[in-house]
Chains A and B, each alone.
Chain A
Amino acid sequence: MRLVNRLAALLLGCALLGGGLLLIVEVLAVALDRGSVVVDRAGWYRTLTGTRLEDPWVRTGLVATGVAGLLILWGQLVRWKPDRLPTRLADGWHLQRRSVERQLATAANAVPGVESASARVRREGFGWRTRIRAVGDTSVSMAVEFTVRRELERLGASLHDHVGVEMVPSGSRPRTDVPRVER
């Protein structure tokens, strides 16, 4: 989302710059009594004086604008995945979230009886909230949680942070939207 925002801001900057320059050029053309440079002024005048506010395509355009605005608002106000997670090692120390998830998935994957594992870590207050999804028998769930907690401790997370382990019987595939490590 951060990258999309940055690229969209670049596009917005280009659009504003282009639009402003176009406006200046057209104003100069009118002032010097020249014909249209880029915009067909007479055509636009005819269209805008001939179209009424209640026309269906004007209404469609307004609805589309409103929907686009709501989508943009939703995209900005929804909680984003954190880039980095604070660790308790020392003040000002952080760990990159994706690397932590990969590390935890690798650790869970090393537990005997686990075919593949995925990890998801989010911030929760000052701590972390970890969710592990592993393919394997439910009996190894305790071993997975123990290993993950040991790894979390090594990474500077608190012992009291939430760790949820979900075992998926082999045959059904785990979710694909989180980093997953397979043997």
Chain B
Amino acid sequence: MTNSAIRVLWTAVGLALTAIGVVGLIASLGHLAGVENEAPLLWSGLLRTWRDLDPWGLVILGVLGILVAWLGSRLLGRVLRARRYPVLGELDLRSVTGQTAAAGPALPGATRVRGARLARGLERDLARDPQVRRASVTLAGTAPRPELWIELQLTSRAGLATVREHVAAAVERFRTTTGLVPRRLEVTARIDAADPVRVH
């Protein structure tokens, strides 16, 4: 789940809580038409409806419980899944060799490469430059529309222009060897501190 999706979720929760507080307070002060502020929290009308519904009231409550528990487990699953973007799983090489493979006689079998292996290769290539301390690559999207998300950790004296050239060359090599043409390239660089300094 992305940060912005979680932000939207909490905005909705904040709105709901504010609405409950405001409407409830108005009702509690006796200014809400149709709501008696001297009535108990479980008012007689609700109790009557509950008795009339019997035994379906229980079924409704049970379904509600299942729904809430399902929503909770789904939310947990989505928050715990750390990956922000879908990762290209297995790459069928026929999808990048394209026409030549399709034109010839259909050969049995298929060659598949894991997307993560290709990303590791690019990481090693990127880290060959001494200005790059560490590189982390995520290969996202699909084979026809792959996306590259690169995170670099640079030394403090790194020249960003030369690093950019190095990254461009590495991505070009990646393109040539894998046949994948990145449609989107996102690079986030972090510059490491020069020497041990006190940062507050």
| Chain A residues proximal to chain B, CB less than 8 Å | 2, 5-6, 8-10, 12-24, 27-28, 30-31, 45, 48-54, 58-59, 62-77, 84, 87, 89-96, 99-100, 102-103, 105-106, 154-156, 176, 179-182
Is A53 in contact with B160, judged by CB distance below 8 angstroms?
Answer: no
Given contacts A90-B164, A100-B191, contact A59 B68 (CB under 8 A): no
A154–B191 Cα distance when bound, in Å, is 12
Given contacts A17-B73, A62-B28, contact A69 B68 (CB under 8 A): no
Residues facing A in B5-26 (CB within 8 A) are 6-7, 9-11, 13-22, 24-25
Secondary structure of the A contact surface, majority rule? helix
A75–B18 Cα distance when bound, in Å, is 13
Chain B contacts of A24 at CB under 8 A? 62, 65-66, 69
Is A69 in contact with B14, judged by CB distance below 8 angstroms?
Answer: yes
Most buried by B among A21, A27, A105: A27
Is B192 in contact with A52, judged by CB distance below 8 angstroms?
Answer: no
Secondary structure of the B contact surface, majority rule? helix
Given contacts A54-B30, A87-B160, A95-B188, contact A19 B68 (CB under 8 A): yes
Count class of interface residues, chain B: 35 or more
Is A103 in contact with B156, judged by CB distance below 8 angstroms?
Answer: yes
Partner of B18, one of A66, A87, A102: A66
A25 and chain B: residue at smallest CB distance: B65
B74 nearest CB across to chain A (Å) = 8
Please tell me if B189 contacts chain A, counting CB pairs below 8 Å.
yes
Q: Mark B168-194, 1 if CB is under 8 A from A, else 0.
A: 000000000000000011111111111
Known contacts A62-B21, A92-B185, then 17 further A-B pairs from the complex at CB < 8 Å, ordered by chain A residue: A2-B6, A5-B7, A6-B3, A6-B79, A17-B69, A17-B72, A20-B67, A52-B37, A53-B35, A53-B40, A54-B30, A66-B20, A69-B20, A87-B160, A95-B190, A106-B193, A155-B160
